[in-house]
Amino acid sequence: MVVLKNKENGKESAKAANRPEQYREYLKHILKLQQVESPVSTSALASAMEISPASVTDMLKKMAVRGLINYRPYHGITLTEEGENETVKAVRRHRIVERFLTDMLGFKWHQAHEEASAFELYISDEVERRMYIALNKPVVCPHGYPIPSSVDDTLIDAVPLYSLEPGQTAKVVSVQDDEPELLQFMASLGLMPGASIKVEGKDPFKGPLQARVGKKKRTVGWHLANQVYVDDVR
């Protein structure tokens, strides 16, 4: 039987108590930062999560006791094998729920990330599995990131759009998904996974680049162009 995790279902609640769901957001941020620089510093994690360093330190100590991370003050943070496994589960569920919200419930892609972060806490593994099947086993989330089965699956082989030079072409693979207003603006420019781009000009000193997105000419600022990832660069 498919069940939602709640207080009225003792069996499912017992399972929930044994899962580090309160640590999900920390795990996801640590993995993301760890892919850029490892070990991850406490200050970098606090900045990324917009939480005070003192609060982050307190949570890291709890996560270390649970065996999810390796942590020593002033030496940084890395995920343990158990931590990596739990992170992959968390990222996988989040991206499946995002697809469910956009594909089945009609949410816009800029709404999916925030809504999924709340919704994903209240479904069971069986509900997640059935969502995945109902969606015809999607490969990526609405923002172009892989739906992973392992840590390696969470990585994308792509570069920021801003790294391209005039004359180069590419295809959008994924975009940063945690700024709803930015996602709305990206959509208005056609900067969505699968879009073809040709860079036609690039101003110096972090100036905007001029690009043809599909058949339309667009001006893309430095910040935005660094939130869009492309591959198949030529």
Which domains are present in the chain?
A: 10-82 (1.10.10.10), 87-154 (1.10.10.10), 159-231 (2.30.30.90)
What pLDDT shows up at residue 92?
95
What pLDDT shows up at residue 161?
93
Rounded distance between C-alpha atoms, residue 229 and residue 197, angstroms:
11
DSSP string, 175-219: E--S-HHHHHHHHHHT-STT-EEEEEEE-TTT--EEEEETTEEEE
What pLDDT shows up at residue 17?
40
Taking CA 197 as the corner, what is the angle to CA 194 and CA 199, rounded to the nearest 5 degrees?
160
- Average pLDDT per 10 consecutive residues for the chain, totaling 234 residues: 42 44 85 87 90 91 93 89 93 95 94 90 93 96 92 84 93 86 90 93 91 92 92 84
Angle between helices 24-34 and 53-65 (to 10 degrees): 100
What pLDDT shows up at residue 20?
53
The residue type of 216 is: K
Beta-ladder partners of 175: 228
What pLDDT shows up at residue 21?
66
